[in-house]
Amino acid sequence: MRRGLLITAGWVTAVATATVLGFTAVGSLGDEFPGRPLSRQEVEDRLAQTTPAFSPTPSASGSPAASGAASPSVSAPRRHFTGSGGSLWATCRNGLASLDGITPKTGFRLDESERGPARTAWVKFKQDGSHGRSREFLVSASCDGGTVTVTETEDD
């Protein structure tokens, strides 16, 4: 009888210890726990934190150094756009527009695109409807003085 009581007490102690250690380990992960979904603002903030672009450092002769040395340049401003067919990030760099992070909304698909860099970068989101009726939205981005301009039109 006494031996059974000791075995039961040992198991209860082991389970309690394992539970406390498990909660402590999960609690120490904090905000970086991979199972916690990010809010929309957290996603946009993390996407906006891009690695700066690098440009070659000029050598003494005035031409770019061949050694591969680089210095950070100012990163191009990005603009997030959410339209009827989906969302994307648009960037201007050297007067040319580029699109990335293109995500169709539920029920839409990416039909065609010219992601850039180009004078006008664009994507077409398409929703296949019933009875042969479909909706298409053309989202285009261009640069004006280093600022990206994004427009959306419904394509017939």
DSSP 91-149: EEETTEEEEEEEEEPTT-EEEEEE-SSBSEEEEEEEEE-GGG-EEEEEEEEEEETTEEE
Mean of the per-residue pLDDT values for the chain? 77
Burial category of 37 from C-beta neighbours within 10 Å (exposed 0-12, middle 13-18, buried 19 and up): exposed
Q: What is the pLDDT of residues 114-155, one digit of tens each?
A: 998 999 999 999 998 777 778 999 999 999 888 899 999 997
30: number of Cβ within 10 Å: 8
Residue 31 has pLDDT above 60, yes or no: no
Residue 27 has pLDDT above 80, yes or no: no
More confident residue, 132 or 95: 95
- Enumerate the domain spans of the chain: 76-155
Token reading at 43: 């996603």
pLDDT at 80: 92
CA-wise closest residue to 89 among 128, 135, 43: 43
Q: What is the pLDDT of residues 33-42, one digit of tens each?
A: 556 677 777 7
pLDDT at 51: 42
Supply the pTM of this predicted model: 0.51
Q: Strand, coil or helix: what is 62?
A: coil
Q: Strand, coil or helix: what is 57?
A: coil
- Counting every residue written for the chain, the total comes to 156
Report how far residue 37's alpha carbon sits from residue 101's, in angstroms, rounded to the nearest whole number: 18
Residue with tokens 């690695």: 51
Q: What is the pLDDT of residues 75-94, one digit of tens each?
A: 567 889 999 999 999 999 98
